[in-house]
A and B are shown apart, each in its own frame.
Chain A
Amino acid sequence: MATPIQMPSLSPTMTEGKIVKWLKKVGDKVTSGEAIAELETDKSNLEIEAYDDGYLLQILVDENQSAPVGAPIAYIGAQGEKVAASGAPAPKAAAPAPAAPAAKVEAPKAPAVAPAPAAAPASSGGGDRIAIQLPSLSPTMTEGKIVKWLKKVGDKVSSGEALAELETDKSNLEIEAYDDGTLAEIVVGENQSAPVGSPIAYLTPKGGKAAAAPAPAAAPKPVEAAPAAAAPKPPAQAAPVASAPVASGGRRIRASPLAKKIAKDKGLDIAQVQGSGPSGRVVKRDIEEALARGVKAPAPAPTAPVTRKAPSAATVARTEPLSSMRKVIAQRMTEVKPGVPHFYLTLEVEMDAAVKVREEAKAMELKVSVNDLIVKAVAMAVRRYPKINVSLQGDQVVHHGSVDVGIAVALEQGLITPVIRDADTKGLQAISTEVRELAERARKRALKPEEYTGGSITVSNLGMYGIDQFVAIINPPQASILAVGAVADKVVARDGQMVIRKMMTATLSCDHRIIDGAIGAEFLRELRGLLEHPTRLLF
């Protein structure tokens, strides 16, 4: 019974081997353990041994030809025995070698059984057909999609001629023929993808026989053109940046996993909780304190205090979607500076007039501080420049209806920003009283959440520490914060003369996603005017 000798696997990495030399010829006697051929593998040159006694009946892979591991390369059997017809390679097994190496080859169950078609060696088909392989056209390309066949089966093809249009991960290109012949078979149809190196078609060479049936077993199954993998979108057609989703709108809340879990379990809006950990991280004890104070998930807008006037149409917040351009700006700014992209505007304010107001109040035995005056001036400036009175919430810009000014109050463990509601409508005296009252309760940590959330803008004043100038970090969801330093005598030029004035530096930090430099500048200029000419506050 004829027994096939198969291409041996001689190293863990070997997938095919080349016959360098046959040491036996057809008809020679072969004994088990005897070398019959010299083989070149990926590692080295080795000998192929016979594992059975008998006579070499047929050689299937000639010298200098390769075959995949497991493919029969010869038959041995009894002297004079004819290899059964089934032992000869079937013509349809003539797929060229490169198509087959990936194919896993099982040993034939019984020696007499014909080798599986997929295992056919490269050379055995007499060179009837030439495979056109999917070319690799970029270093990153792993597969390609046939967009269009430019030739059909039966068409004459000459070397250099375009056969098909191919879409790769980078671009669309043409596949050229490298041989003359006739297009015998198309394996990968239009809009189908195939991995690099796999046959996409077969040519019958010039003068070759008409194509036999294809060898589907040997060809990798074409991949259905899946929208994601097989048809990568060329970068040129990439959607405009504007349509990409906005990275992260609003405020990023720092909270420990435990704090988040408890807040979720208790239905507490963690955004309402002031964090006492590093970088304002909300931790368990903050949540517990908030719960003790009875904070719940609040409505988006702060509930109005009892004393507050009923909102008029003008003072109700309105919401509008971010424009496309605004979205792009928001996204770009976020890319530049993660979180809230800040920009800063600084100017000096001459405070002589403002200080005078304080002294006048003092004379009237009213306690009004320069800071109270600043709060009032900020409120009035906001009212006049409502474009500063905004918040970004997701894809929405909230235009606040009322003017609520927060004031930063330093605490032992951090800081908190109680809010003076409707500060634009309140007198200096009222503001002063409210600021002092809120600050005191803040230090006792007795503020209600609605007293320190929301707000249009915050005033942070480090003047009492002798700070000349600083920049403050915006307190989201607000979009701006004003940092004011100490009022100090300074030499300034006025009308070409050096004079001494009480000067104060004010720095406005703005959320660049929704406030631009010009708006901030106009607001700040207005604020300076109000402080330098406090009588304007009356109008």
Chain B
Amino acid sequence: MPELMYREALNQALAEEMERDANVFLIGEEVGRYNGAFKVSQGLLDKFGSARIIDAPISELGFGGMSVGAAMVGLRPVVEMMTWNFAILAMDQIVNNAAKLRHMSGGQLRCPIVFRGPGGAGGRLSSQHSQSLEANYAHFPGLKVIAPATPADAKGMLKSAIRDENPVIMFEGERLYALKGEVPEGEHVVPLGKADVKREGTDVTVITWSRMYYFCMQAAEELAKEGISVEVLDLRTLRPLDEEAILASVRKTNRAVIVEEGWALAGIGASVVDIIQSKAFDELDAPVERVTGLDVNMSYAANLENATQPDAPKIIAAVKKVLYRQGA
């Protein structure tokens, strides 16, 4: 299986889906002649032409809403947001229109559209550019929200998202784009709404998604040396949550740690804890722990930035805490 960077996997998915379906087009800032702010759309303009790879003005609300309109009459837009921080400007169109069209029309309309772009901290970019906003979107019925961690999932889930009949919000990551992993060639489709056990274990379940997945795997390696067997569950889709997978893993290990790059209050982890406590209360041998970004704005200074984010040592400490081990 070839090794690809995360962004190359996305590029492959886009190219394959645009090949497969002429209704699919990509619009966003710098996606065309510039070849993509993060090179996700590299080479696509030459391949598909200017009506299908569209350089948009800096008007997130405008081109976001325009694409919703195109989806209402049968096209399948992929809207690249240079980062999700900028997409806040388009939130009205995503939330008030895309997520509600099916409902407001009583089932007459559908809105097959993908909004995608990097979320999470980029690295030394301060507060406006370093936010994990997936919880905001996961809040809205009518949307699907995905956040794949690996190149293979990135490809397979983008393909599924483009084929989905609903608005899909896809969180990628500036710090994920260059990560490499094995990616199946051709028709590799990963269903939405399915979490994935990325590492099997028996002592504790660590639940995560997106970039935090790598810290969790690192922590699991470290803990294995101490004889602690960690199961890593990658949620991949944040709306709808894969309750079945969460509960199955917790029923097996009886302990859970949820690792989230974003803030704790009203975070996705809070909902995962709720699922666990309400549906697997009797399976718990310890209270569920959360590792989240600190409840502060992200600073530019390297040490402050690092301290704000979850990392492997914080995850290790949380795992030991739920296992009642020393050093927690």
Contact = CB atoms under 8 A, between A and B. Distances in A.
B140 interface: no
A39 interface: no
Interface in B207-249: none
Nearest to A264: B282
A257 B284 contact: yes
A283 B286 contact: yes
A260 interface: yes
B324 A257 contact: no
A235 interface: no
Most buried by B among A257, A260, A276, A283: A257
B282 A284 contact: no
Interface in B25-61: none
Nearest to B286: A256
A283 B255 CA distance: 11
Main secondary structure of the interface of B (DSSP, over half): loop
A258 B282 CA distance: 5
B286 A277 contact: yes
B285 interface: yes
Contacts of A278: 324
A337 interface: no
A259 B285 contact: yes
Interface in A279-313: 283-284
Contacts of A284: 254, 285
Contacts of B284: 256-258
**Range, interface on chain B:** under 10
Contacts of A283: 285-286, 324
A251 B133 CA distance: 46
Most buried by B among A256, A259, A278: A256
A277 B324 contact: yes
Interface in A316-374: none
Nearest to B328: A278
B285 A258 contact: yes
A252 interface: no
B288 to A, nearest CB: 11
A276 B324 contact: yes
Contacts of A258: 254, 282-285
Contacts of B86: none
Most buried by A among B283, B284, B285: B285
A265 to B, nearest CB: 10
Nearest to B326: A413
A82 interface: no
A436 interface: no
Nearest to A284: B285
A280 to B, nearest CB: 11
Contacts of A261: 282-283
Contacts of A257: 281-285
A258 B280 CA distance: 9
A410 to B, nearest CB: 16
Interface string B264-294: 0000000000000000011111100000000
**Range, interface on chain A:** 10 to 19
B1 to A, nearest CB: 40
Contacts of A276: 324
Interface string A203-216: 00000000000000
A175 B282 CA distance: 56
Nearest to A283: B285
A277 B286 CA distance: 9
Contacts of A277: 286, 324
A256 B324 contact: no
Interface string A246-284: 000000000011111100000000000000111000011
Nearest to B277: A257
A274 to B, nearest CB: 14
A260 B324 contact: no
Contacts of A256: 254, 284-286
B231 to A, nearest CB: 16
Contacts of B282: 257-258, 260-261
A406 B104 CA distance: 72
A277 B320 CA distance: 12
Contacts of A259: 285
B284 to A, nearest CB: 5
A276 B286 CA distance: 12
Contacts of B254: 256, 258, 284
A284 B324 CA distance: 12
A278 B328 CA distance: 12
A391 B309 CA distance: 51
Contacts of B285: 256-259, 283-284
A192 B282 CA distance: 47
A259 B284 CA distance: 8
Nearest to A276: B324
Nearest to A278: B324
Interface string B285-328: 11000000000000000000000000000000000000010000
B133 to A, nearest CB: 34
Nearest to B324: A277
A277 B325 CA distance: 9
Contacts of A260: 282
Nearest to B287: A256
A257 B284 CA distance: 6
Interface in B67-98: none
A256 B322 CA distance: 11
A259 B324 CA distance: 14
Nearest to B251: A258
A49 B52 CA distance: 55
Nearest to B281: A257
B322 to A, nearest CB: 10
Interface in B246-264: 254
A295 to B, nearest CB: 18
Nearest to B284: A257
A384 to B, nearest CB: 42
A278 B323 CA distance: 10
Interface string A51-62: 000000000000
Interface string B172-213: 000000000000000000000000000000000000000000
A314 to B, nearest CB: 44
B85 to A, nearest CB: 38
A260 B254 CA distance: 13
A284 B285 CA distance: 6
A309 to B, nearest CB: 41
Interface string A405-447: 0000000000000000000000000000000000000000000
A502 B118 CA distance: 73
A277 to B, nearest CB: 5
A258 B277 CA distance: 12
A189 B116 CA distance: 69
Nearest to A275: B324
22 contacts: A256-B254, A256-B284, A257-B282, A257-B283, A257-B284, A257-B285, A258-B254, A258-B282, A258-B283, A258-B284, A258-B285, A259-B285, A260-B282, A261-B283, A276-B324, A277-B286, A277-B324, A283-B285, A283-B286, A283-B324, A284-B254, A284-B285
3 nearest A-B pairs in the assembled complex, by CB-CB distance: A258-B285, A261-B282, A256-B285
Interface of A: 256-261, 276-278, 283-284
Given A259-B285, A283-B286, 17 more contacts: A256-B254, A257-B281, A257-B282, A257-B283, A258-B254, A258-B282, A258-B284, A258-B285, A260-B282, A261-B282, A276-B324, A277-B324, A278-B324, A283-B285, A283-B324, A284-B254, A284-B285
